Amino acid sequence: MPYKNETTNNEPLWHILLTFLKVGAFTFGGGYAILPVIQQEVVERKKWISQEEFSDILIITQGMPGQLALNSSIQIGIRLRGIPGGLMGALGVTAPSFIILLAIAAYFYPLFRDNNYVQAIFYGVRPAVVALIAAAAIKMGRNILHGLNGMILCFILLVVAIITQIHPIIILLIGGLAGLIICRKGISL
């Protein structure tokens, strides 16, 4: 995916802002939990980018420092409208969290800190976040993993990541190196 200096869309900046405000406001669980919502909005609903471009953006943002959701929204915004689009994506995805956290810290937390109903709600939200992450992984896997080599490499890297608990960047580097070797040599796993 070569970087294109020109933007691919004349989407109004306020559309980008409102889309990412919606994503940021109605998603719990952070980066991986927010991915299916971003994907649904920008790939399936608005068709701003293709599934392949979305997958490429996720691959790039995995290697970047910072939050996955924020980096993804910036990259998508840049693809749509350049730097102003990236700024709108960043503002949209972060503003709801900032406002909600500020309200909770200032007012609501002292009121609900010991409330059993609030604790029960959060207890129920946690498994939902895991389910959203699993759904995103499965959906991405269908679009990214092509052929037996990709599936075998994915399985091997998953086992290595679980057993060794080495840093995710090392897993990405191992995967990239393995892909380079497999693709250049035409090796079949």
CB 163 within 8 A of CB 170: no
Report which residue type is found at 55. Answer: S
CB 86 within 8 A of CB 78: yes
The pLDDT of residue 1: 42
The pLDDT of residue 188: 62
Among 167, 143, 141, 166, CA closest to 152: 141
The pLDDT of residue 30: 66
DSSP annotation of 41: I
Burial class (CB in 10 A: 0-12, 13-18, 19+), 76: buried
Neighbours of 169 (CB within 10 A): 10
CB 25 within 8 A of CB 96: yes
Report which residue type is found at 100. Answer: I
The pLDDT of residue 189: 58
Q: Quote the CA–CA distance of 88 and 79 in Å, as a whole number.
A: 12
DSSP annotation of 108: I
Sign of CA dihedral 176, 65, 68, 75: negative
The pLDDT of residue 53: 92
Q: Which residue has the tokens 């679980």?
A: 162
The tens place of each residue's pLDDT in the chain, 189 residues long, gives: 444 445 556 889 999 999 999 988 877 766 677 888 888 899 999 999 998 899 889 888 887 887 888 899 999 999 999 999 999 999 999 998 888 888 877 777 777 777 888 788 878 888 888 888 788 788 778 877 877 888 888 889 989 988 998 888 888 888 888 888 877 666 665
The radius of gyration of the chain's CA atoms, rounded to the nearest angstrom, is 19
The pLDDT of residue 5: 44
The pLDDT of residue 37: 86
Residues constituting the chain? 189
